[in-house]
Structure 1
Amino acid sequence: MKSFALFAALLLPFTLAAPVEERTDEEMVRTPAGIRPISKVHLVPEGGEVRLVGEEIHLLDATGSVLHVATNDHAKVGMSQATATTSGAEPEETGWVAYASWLNEATEAISSFATSFTVPPVPEDNHDQTLFMFNSIEPASGDAILQPVLQFGPSAAGGGAFWSVASWYLVGSETFFSSLVKTSAGTVLNGLITLTSSSGADFNYDVTFTGITGTALTATKSAELVWATETLETYGVTTAEDYPAGTLTFHSINLAMTSGTPETEWSTVSDSADKLITTVVTQGFSNAEVEISFPQA
């Protein structure tokens, strides 16, 4: 009897020790870099900025006070992780599904990148899908992207079954966005990204929808941004009717350089299986035009 009691006493500490489980219930939200933990997503207050400081990312308010600091893990975003999973007749697109791109290989930097486009009709069906449409610009490393974004559906910035706009800056695994402003079909948008200054390897940029208050965002001490794109990105699409009818036309695409003019030829990626077709209507750096056809075009 004594030996059994001794065995039970020795076993007791081990039977009481429960394994520590890692939490996996953090809310996940949609962003133009995919599905991300909500703790990695941050609103940039009006007049604030996102500043890269060595291997850190600082979120500042309009007074220059630091609101948040994160480590830059240099995770790939934008075109570097642009993959789409499709299923032919029944689309289930995730990510960049149709886009045009151009890489600046000149020694001069892009000083501004403007694109105009008209907000499409509201999709016929609503399956809680999210559609992102934007012009954007990225560094050669592919670990950041700056973009003025038209959105239908929900995202980390808000939204729903209506069109809205905001500017986004994604750096590694961290996501930053401006206020989300509701808009409507037929509105002509102008997404503008501007190089405001540079010093050595540090480049400072502003992004906004021209004339729409609250959509401005500032990114400072960035690497030079060299990849320009015109993009359709989607999440949660289940039927062709989850897209608007017709086409999306990015027009008045104008690229300016710090000096000279670039030789610009846009390349395209399409999802032919799901009838999402990207076409360069007009090549070049001045008044170029890119069209993306939806399945019901």
Structure 2
Amino acid sequence: MLLLRFLLAALASNIGLALTPVGSRPSGGQIFVAPHGSRAKQVDHNMEIFAPNGTLIHTFVNVMPGSASATKERRSLLAARQSLSAAQASTTVIADPANVIEAYNTSFTVPALPKTFESQIIYLSATVVASNQGVEFAWYRCVLQYGANAFWGGPFWTISTELELGPDGSLLVVVGDGFNPRVEVGATIQTSILHKDEGDDIFWYEATFNDQPTALEVGWHTPVGKVVIGLEEEGVTQPSEYPPEPFTFKDTNLTMTRGAPEVAWDVPSDSTTGAYVTVDVDGAVNAELTVHFLN
């Protein structure tokens, strides 16, 4: 889970040409903040991070499946991720080089603030999941997050693009141009995660908000085959700490090279939070999914 205080503290300072961690996560991984327009590229079992000018600014070492030790560590990370408070829905497709996920789009309205703020973090996202032979190893997502910070004030809602990597669960965060990622209640936000063909042997993806310039491009050796929508939370102890109304992901569309796939959204029955997800309109075209808060 991204800790907002670390993100905003990093955004308040200049980001240099080398990434340094700005905080840590409950799973044990570190949080890094990269410049807007950065690229993340898989090279063997590593993930290399490049600044907008092409300069290599960081390498995440051994974060891709391969060795037995890396797989063991990845399973430990998955157990840690599953221990977070979460309510989600997902769907999986069979993707190959000739038929990849070309676009994953959804939209939502920024909800009203919770009635009570007790330092909780509420985290709503649309995610694509990278995997290899059934082992999930990276999560690339568009995020709407609620929280507060001593520097910026708050509480309020913010948006960011994130890439979570293993085996230690490190998190790379990029926000839009400028230093304030805040969005206002009632604003309509459209998120898109798009495949970008560059004619090489890498499958590139770019995430955007409201058709703004891409904050972070990510490239893997294999195409992604799973998408997720949902909520994660940290520190919620009572119903008034949730938004007062349900939160709906609208106009949710999944498009592959050969068109819209036949899919159904799966909602696990083991939600670990005081919220749950319903599939109001199923499928890959104009699907609608709602997060309901127990308040």
Superposition TM-score tier, normalisation by shorter sequence = 0.7 to 0.9
After superposition, what is the alpha-carbon deviation per residue over 1:86-131, rounded to whole angstroms, capped at 9, x for unaligned?
Answer: xxxxxxxx33x21110001254211110010111110111111111
Q: Measure, in 1, the Cα distance between the counterparts of 2:60 and 2:170.
A: 8
Residue 269 of structure 1 contacts residue 278 of structure 1 at CA under 8 Å; is this kept in 2? no
> Which of the residues 134, 156, 161 maps onto 1:162?
156
Residue 150 of structure 1 contacts residue 164 of structure 1 at CA under 8 Å; is this kept in 2? yes
Aligned residue for 2:197, secondary structure, equals strand
Aligned residue for 2:240, secondary structure, equals helix
Matches within 5 A, 1:45-64: 45-64=35-54
1:219 aligns with 218
Q: Measure, in 2, the Cα distance between the counterparts of 1:236 and 1:254.
A: 32
After superposition, what is the alpha-carbon deviation per residue over 1:217-250, rounded to whole angstroms, capped at 9, x for unaligned?
Answer: 1112353111111110101111111111110101
Q: Measure, in 2, the Cα distance between the counterparts of 1:273 and 1:203.
A: 33
Q: More displaced, 141-150 or 67-76?
A: 67-76
Answer yes or no: is 1:126 the counterpart of 2:117: yes
Change in Cα spacing, 1:229 to 1:77, as seen in structure 2 (3 Å) is: farther
After superposition, what is the alpha-carbon deviation per residue over 1:68-90, rounded to whole angstroms, capped at 9, x for unaligned?
Answer: 12203343699775425xxxxxx
TM-score (norm 1): 0.76
Residue 77 of structure 1 contacts residue 144 of structure 1 at CA under 8 Å; is this kept in 2? no
After superposition, what is the alpha-carbon deviation per residue over 1:187-217, rounded to whole angstroms, capped at 9, x for unaligned?
Answer: 111111001026686311101212456x621
Residue 145 of structure 1 contacts residue 169 of structure 1 at CA under 8 Å; is this kept in 2? yes
Aligned residue for 1:241, secondary structure, equals helix
After superposition, what is the alpha-carbon deviation per residue over 1:267-294, rounded to whole angstroms, capped at 9, x for unaligned?
Answer: 1135678652211110111100001111
| CA shift for structure 1 position 36 | 4.2
2:248 aligns with 249
Residue 125 of structure 2 contacts residue 231 of structure 2 at CA under 8 Å; is this kept in 1? yes
2:170 aligns with 174
Answer yes or no: is 1:236 the counterpart of 2:235: yes
| CA shift for structure 1 position 258 | 1.1
Amino acid in structure 2 at the alignment position of 1:246: E
Amino acid in structure 1 at the alignment position of 2:127: S
TM-score (norm 2): 0.77
Residue 43 of structure 1 contacts residue 178 of structure 1 at CA under 8 Å; is this kept in 2? yes
Aligned residue for 1:277, secondary structure, equals strand
Residue 22 of structure 2 contacts residue 31 of structure 2 at CA under 8 Å; is this kept in 1? no
Change in Cα spacing, 1:279 to 1:212, as seen in structure 2 (3 Å) is: same
Matches within 5 A, 1:1-297: 28-30=23-25, 34-37=26-29, 40-74=30-64, 75=74, 82-84=81-83, 94-95=84-85, 97-107=86-96, 108-140=99-131, 141-153=135-147, 160-172=154-166, 173-179=169-175, 181-197=181-197, 202-212=202-212, 216-269=215-268, 275-296=274-295
Residue 47 of structure 2 contacts residue 63 of structure 2 at CA under 8 Å; is this kept in 1? no
Residue 198 of structure 1 contacts residue 204 of structure 1 at CA under 8 Å; is this kept in 2? yes
Structure 2: 5+ residue stretches without partners: 1-20, 65-73
- CA RMSD in angstroms comes to 2.7
Q: More displaced, 162-171 or 198-207?
A: 198-207
Change in Cα spacing, 1:291 to 1:171, as seen in structure 2 (3 Å) is: same
Change in Cα spacing, 1:287 to 1:79, as seen in structure 2 (3 Å) is: farther
State the number of aligned residues. Answer: 253
Structure 1: 5+ residue stretches without partners: 1-25, 85-93
Q: More displaced, 190-199 or 129-138?
A: 190-199
Q: Measure, in 2, the Cα distance between the counterparts of 1:286 and 1:77.
A: 35
Change in Cα spacing, 1:61 to 1:159, as seen in structure 2 (3 Å) is: farther
